[in-house]
Amino acid sequence: MTVLTIARHTLHEAFSRRLVLAALGLSLIFLALCGLGFLFLYGKLLEGPKSSEREVAVAAAVLTVLGLYAVNFLSSLLALFLAVGAVSAEVESGTLQAVLARPIRRSAFVVGRWLAHALLIALYVTLMTAAPLLLARLIAGYEAPDPLRAGALMLLSALVLLTLSLLGSTRLPTLANGQEIHDATFSGALNAVPVPASWVLLATGSGLAGLVGLIRRRRLALA
């Protein structure tokens, strides 16, 4: 059993557990709210009587960065949920003993797991990074100066978190590993999540405000 075979089985397991599909569904909901929030806030700025071109451009850039921060937060969560029990959960359920009874190296099992999860995260970060940039271009005509570097840095951040979570999963139980990763990252030791979390709440709130505003406008138009 090779590394690629283990990676293929890991991908099949992820989709069979519907974890990836659930993450995609939640991400689509977030993107819809983020788009409505962008449209609502940007429209309010354009309605202002004293909005200069520079202010409009700065506002578009800030809203785009807000969306990218949220993507960074969501990709970090996905990496954590994928890898926190990648090995320890198999040990606790007894599945790993049956797998390692075959002629397979333990390192090949871990690398195969990491490869499959890294592929999922890379695809997720690519699609989710492109979405806010596309929304900014369609709504405000704004183009980020260096989107490839931003996407690469977010992917690197998620892969580092994935690697740490998988490494902890080989040594600690699932709950203990999750607590350690939470203390190291979410509590600010790596300074990766607390700021984006506030941006996620702000983006979601803006999206809900945009949705409410859209409903009110339609009601007024029908009246």
For the chain, what is the mean pLDDT?
A: 75
Structure tokens given for 21? 């599909």
As a whole number of angstroms, the distance between CA 92 and CA 85 comes to 10
How many CB atoms neighbour CB 66 within 10 A? 22
CB 132 within 8 A of CB 64: yes
What number is the average pLDDT over the span 140-147? 82
What number is the average pLDDT over the span 206-217? 45
What number is the average pLDDT over the span 64-81? 85
Task: Write down the pTM of the prediction.
Answer: 0.74
Q: Is the pLDDT score of 122 beyond 90?
A: yes
Quote the pLDDT of residue 212. Answer: 43
Higher pLDDT pick, 88 / 121? 121
Query: Of 97, 128, 114, whose CA–CA distance to 31 is shortest?
Result: 128
Under 8 Å CB-to-CB from 32, ≥6 apart: which residues? Answer: 207
Model confidence at 121, pLDDT cuts 50, 70, 90, reads very high
What number is the average pLDDT over the span 157-175? 84
Q: Is the pLDDT score of 123 beyond 50?
A: yes
What is the residue whose two structure tokens read 């580092």? 160
Per-range mean pLDDT, top range of 85-94, 163-172, 175-184: 163-172
As a whole number of angstroms, the distance between CA 149 and CA 146 comes to 6
Query: Of 103, 96, 126, 92, whose CA–CA distance to 10 is shortest?
Result: 96
CA angle, residues 152, 158, 161, in degrees to nearest 5: 140
Quote the pLDDT of residue 125. Answer: 92
